[in-house]
Amino acid sequence: MIKRITAILLGIGLVLAAALPAAAAIDVYEFETVEQEKVFHELTATLRCPKCQNNNIADSNAELAKDMRQKAYVMLSEGKSKQDVVDYMIARYGNFVTYDPPLMISTIILWLGPVLFILVGFTVLVARSRKAGDVQDKAKLDAEEEQRLKSLMEEMEQQKPSNDGKVK
């Protein structure tokens, strides 16, 4: 009887534990106009969460993303423009919060890195393919070396044991 009660309580506990994520708080923001709401959703979809790396702040559950959403809401409620909010986020968190960082000295490696990588790879491929052609040219024997090779091969053929195990 005690085992049954324990099993039932354990089952109820597991069901309740599984339901906890469903009880998580959902951010609800009330806007004065539909335009503000539209701008808010655009902003949260285009700003990257610094903690989550590749999630936007709309999809992230990190506390930092929640703070960024709240700040965007407050700034939009104060009448700030979309660009004002983006400028604030860049000033606070750096260019990383945008998915399209501007071309600057500090971000030049992000823009030119892939192109340089491809150019270096192509150069290495061309250099190695040319070097392989040179090796094949060097592998050719002149007439004297070929004659010596044939004589050595014939000599080895003569020293090969026959089927009965005796040398020819």
91-149 pLDDT, tens digit per residue, is 998 888 888 777 778 778 777 888 999 999 999 999 888 876 655 555 666 778 888 88
Measured CA to CA, the distance from residue 161 to residue 103 in angstroms comes to 76
Encoded tokens for 130: 């040319």
Q: How far apart are the first and last CA of the chain?
A: 95
Task: Identify residue 158 by its one-letter amino acid code.
Answer: Q
**What are the two backbone dihedrals, phi and then psi, of residue 167, each rounded to the nearest 5 degrees?**
-75, 140
Kindly report the pTM of this predicted structure.
Answer: 0.52
- Which of the four pLDDT bands, split at 50, 70 and 90, describes residue 168? low
